[in-house]
Structure 1
Amino acid sequence: MQRTTRNLARLATIGAMLVGTLASAQAADLPVYKKAPPPVEAFNPWMVRLRVLGVLPDAGGSTVNVAGVPSLSSPNSGLSISDQVVPELDISYFFTRNIAAELILGVTRHSISGTGSLASLPIGKTTLLPPTLTLQYHFDNFGAFKPYIGAGVNYTVFFNNSAANVPAAIVGPPAIVATTTNLHVSNAWGGAVQFGFDYMIDRHWGLNVDVKKLWLRPDYSATVSGLPVTGTAHIDPWLVGAGVTYKF
């Protein structure tokens, strides 16, 4: 009886081993399915923005030199340059997800007039093409809110200069009626800094607010009632813009 019991135990152990081996073999033969990783979005380096831009010159410190008339020259006289609101396009290229270059394109036309002793004298108008290239750092750890800072250079082309050519009484001494002709403004380089942010509504579209400060000080010349006038216009505008962003 004991021998029979031992034999049955051996058979049961062998059977269990065979069943385990068979189960392992079947499990090894079954294909293993792994969940596919989520697709990685391709990185596109291009971004464009369309803004409404306020160009706000700060002409304080502009110099005026009227040949032979010290009372009409600096520091008794200066320049005033009108504000302007225009559409503006910028194109950005991202070298990485954080570092980008931005080029802004727009054209503005401004009126120039005298201040101080020349306060009532309209000098003329000029049109500015001020392409500005900045290198930016974009912070990407705030979710949809993406602030950035930047710095760069500006080269402004002045064209379509037109002198006012309108007689105007200006204070003296002596008080005279003056007319401005032959206005010319030289092209000029300048520095630029900026800060702003994009708020992305979805993967492609967002809203943008941007502020730039340009240091722009071109030389100019004109003729006032036959007298040559020269100086440096401290335009130094703030560029304040808001608009839409499209990320490709």
Structure 2
Amino acid sequence: MKKAAWLAALLALSALGFVTGNAMAQESPWQVRVRADYLKPANKSDAVGGVGASDTLHINGKTIPELDISYFFTPNWAAELVLTYPQEQDVSLDGKKIGTFKHLPPTLTAQYHFMPQATFSPYVGAGLNYTRISSVNLLGGAASQDKDSWGLAVQAGLDYKLDKNWSLNLDVKKLQIRSDVFAGGERISRVKIDPWLMGVGVGYRF
């Protein structure tokens, strides 16, 4: 009985060691990236004043910080949540600044990674963007904007693995962000921000 018990214990420990070793050898499904993105608005707003008018609203481009959290369901498929803090943008009309607003644009995408084990691993993604618009100050308070926007998002990128955990990342996204602008109770323009986000950063796979 003692020999059988010792044999059973030894087999159990061996099995536990095998399972633990395999679990440790597998990559964690979590990855975090930090990027610096250049936000370049499309600036295709409707002309202020309606048909025949030529003046359009323009939003400035700027570099913004970005934090991304990814979860890999399989080696190829992942979901990525894109985060930042509220960003302030300048609004200009006919080359003159008429005010500012802030936007918070969290974005969720589903990604396909073509060669997840390779040193160079390209990927594509598509998903949904929600933008919260706040702190609107246009024409000294005489104009206002919609408070939020829903739109599509697409992306493409490349990871370059430095080692088991660390990687460099290049990423390009196109977001659909639009907002109506009102003055005196009437809509005077529809702002089509629709920015490109061109980023570079580092990633860590846990």
What is the TM-score with the length of structure 1 in the denominator?
Answer: 0.68
Give the counterpart of 2:101 among 119, 126, 130: 126
Distance 1:160 1:74 in 2: 31
Give the counterpart of 1:54 among 23, 30, 38: 38
Tell me if structure 2 keeps the 8 A contact 1:124–1:183. no
Query: Residue 185 of structure 1 aligns with which residue?
Result: 146
Task: State the identity %.
Answer: 42
Distance 2:187 2:179 in 1: 14
Query: Residue 147 of structure 1 aligns with which residue?
Result: 122
| Offset of residue 217 of structure 1 | 1.7
Query: Residue 241 of structure 1 aligns with which residue?
Result: 199
The aligned length equals: 184
Deviations 1:112-147 (Å, cap 9, x if unpaired)? 111xxxx14432111110011110000126721111
Query: Residue 136 of structure 1 aligns with which residue?
Result: 111
Give the counterpart of 1:221 among 168, 176, 182: 182
Counterpart AA for 1:63: D
C-alpha spacing 1:124/1:235, structure 2 compared with 1 (3 Å):
same
Question: Equivalences for 1:1-248 in 2 at 5 Å?
Answer: 40=22, 41-60=25-44, 62-66=45-49, 75-106=53-84, 107-114=86-93, 119-140=94-115, 143-165=118-140, 181-222=142-183, 228=186, 230-248=188-206
Counterpart AA for 1:108: Q
Structure 1: which 5+ residue stretches go unaligned?
A: 1-36, 166-179
| Offset of residue 162 of structure 1 | 1.3
Tell me if structure 1 keeps the 8 A contact 2:120–2:159. yes
Larger Rg: 1
C-alpha spacing 1:218/1:156, structure 2 compared with 1 (3 Å):
same
